[in-house]
Each structure stands twice: as C-alpha cells, then as structure tokens.
Amino acid sequence: MIAPLRLLFLTALVLCGFASFARAEDFGPKDVAFAVLGVPLHVPVRGTYMSEPEDGNLNVTIVAHGDLQAVQAHALELARALRMPPPGCGHKTLNATLTQVTAARIVADGAVARVEISGDASVALCKKILGLKVEGILDRQKVSMTAPVELYLRDPNTIGLRLAGRASLQTGQGPLGDAVRDFEGNLNDLLTKRLQSALDAKAAHANLPTLPGVDLAIDHARFAAEGDRLTVEVQAHGTMSQLAFAALRMFFKP
C-alpha cells in the first residue's frame, strides 16, 4: 500500500508540468506500474494541482488520488510477503507469530484499511526452570486476525503505515490462548506487537523523491473508501523549477 505513493507524486509532478502556469487543473487518470513486496501492481492516479510562478520557479500544491483496487485484489500475496518473525525464542520468554497465512483481504473502512488475515499461529516458550533452559513450541492453532491500518507522516517527506488500533484476534479451541495468558497477558497483544514491528520496517515507508529543483513537503496522506474500493489521497506543497519539469517528463517518457 505504501509503494504507490512515491510514483503517485512523480506522476502528479510530471503531468502538472504541461500546464505549469494554470491556477488550477485536473490531471489523469494515469496508470502507474510498481511493485509492493515484490508483487507487481498497477494503480490509476488522478488529481488536481494549483501552481503560481514566482522568480522563475513554481509554487505548487498537489492533491493526488490513487485507486488501490489492485492492492486489494492481491491481499493474500501481500500478506504472505509481510515479514513476520519465524517461530523461535529470540530474547523473550514467549514469542508468538503467524507461521502460515491461508487467506487475506483488505477492506476499505473510512480513513483506515482493515486488514483481515487467517492462518496458523504458534507460540514458542523460552524459559529457565530450576536453572535449566526450556525451549519449545507451546501450541499451534488456526487464527483469524483483523487489524486497522492507517497512513501517517513520519516526517514532512516520509509516509508510513501503522496500526490504527489494537488487532482483534479469534482462535479456535485449544490450549494456546490459556498458555499465553499464563505468561504474557494474551496472544492478541503479542501478535499486535509483531504486526506493528513488521509495519515499522523500512520497506513499509514511502519517501518523496529527491530531485534537483524539487522542494516539496507532504501535508497529509490518508486512506479513503469509495464504496468497497480502497483509495489513497496525498496532498503536498512546495516549489519546483522548469528544469525539474523537463527531468520528470524524461523520467516518464516511454
């Protein structure tokens, strides 16, 4: 969901260069190809820009929208590509993780994307008992997890993903939930932490492109829902040179 944002901005900048002295004009839709976690996708991008010349440069405000239906259609592939830690001890008493994802979907829900994942979870116990180190898998169980995910600004040039609330977990019958509560509270909290850790990875960030003659800052980035379809809206403002327009046109030249 993050990867399209960099290309979304580049597309917006390129298209606004063709009428750089207009006060306001729509652009797109333009089909943008990109890869998320190695999964090839295409996203239509459209939007509006406002520009005003000043000292040979342009003061620009851009509002760009991306249709994320392709992201929703590849939810299972993306969920499987999301790197969760393998089962094992690490440095904690308990380590809970999803060991296999069997189903996934991404649901548009206002300003959040609701990620629904089903699969197998396991809990590894690592503890010293009477001086002896005990390691092993406590239990494996079928689970279903729903997590609200939102976009946020890590800084004026970087968009990130984070949980918009606690993950909601459902498990089948078995000792796994009770075993986790005995040691660390509950499996819900453990998997919520694991998912947030995966979202914090650098691969889940999108940065504004660093280009000569382009100085932009992001005002906001958020998901939106158009019926069942997930979309993204990003607004940015700043200055650009005419030379930057030429470079961007060459960048997108077939």
How many whole angstroms separate alpha carbon 129 and alpha carbon 63?
59
Q: Give the helix/strand (H/E) hosting 44.
A: strand 39-54
Protein fold of 72-203:
Bactericidal permeability-increasing protein; domain 1 (3.15.10)
- Cα–chain-centroid distance for residue 251? 25
In this prediction, residue 248 carries a pLDDT of 58
How many whole angstroms separate alpha carbon 177 and alpha carbon 241?
59
pLDDT tens-digit map of 126-135 = 776 666 666 6
Domain locations along the chain: 4-67+205-251, 72-203
pLDDT tens-digit map of 19-68 = 444 567 777 788 878 777 678 888 888 888 787 888 888 888 888 899 99
User: Dihedrals φ, ψ of 151, to 5°?
Assistant: -90, 150
In this prediction, residue 218 carries a pLDDT of 93
How many whole angstroms separate alpha carbon 29 and alpha carbon 140?
46
pLDDT tens-digit map of 190-235 = 667 767 776 776 666 677 777 778 898 999 999 999 999 999 999 9
Top mean pLDDT of 112-121, 165-174, 186-195 is at 112-121
pLDDT tens-digit map of 143-160 = 888 889 999 998 998 888
Mean pLDDT, the chain, integer: 76
How many whole angstroms separate alpha carbon 46 and alpha carbon 25?
11
pLDDT band at 107 (very low <50, low <70, confident <90, very high): very high
* Residue of 230 and 94 predicted with greater confidence: 230
Q: What pTM does this model have?
A: 0.73
In this prediction, residue 221 carries a pLDDT of 93
Kindly state the percentage of the chain with pLDDT values over 70.
65
In this prediction, residue 190 carries a pLDDT of 64
CA distances from 239 to 24, 25, 55, 56, 220 (A): 15, 17, 11, 10, 17
